[in-house]
Chains A and B, each alone.
Chain A
Amino acid sequence: MADFIQLFVNGLALGSVYALAAIGFVIVYSATGVVNFAAGQFVMFGTFAGVAMLANAGLPWPVGYAAALLAMAAFGALFFAIVYLPLRTSPVVTVIIGTVAVGIVMQNAALLGFGSWPFRLASPLEGVTIDIAGAAITAHAAMVVVVTGLLVGLIWLLFYRTALGIGMRAVAQDAEAARLMGLNVNLLLALSWILAAVLAGIAGLLLGPMWFADVNMGDPIALKAFAATIIGGFGSLPGAIAGGLFVGLTELLGASYLSSAYKDLIAFVVMILFLLVRPQGVFGERIQDRG
Chain B
Amino acid sequence: MLQAIKKIVGVVLAVAFSVTLVSTAVAQEGHPVKGSWIGVWEGNAALGDNVLLVLNWDGEKISGVINPGTDNLAVSSATLNPDDWSITIEAGTYKIAGKFERLELPNRAIVGTWSNGSNTGKFEIVRQ
State yes or no: do A and B come from one complex: no
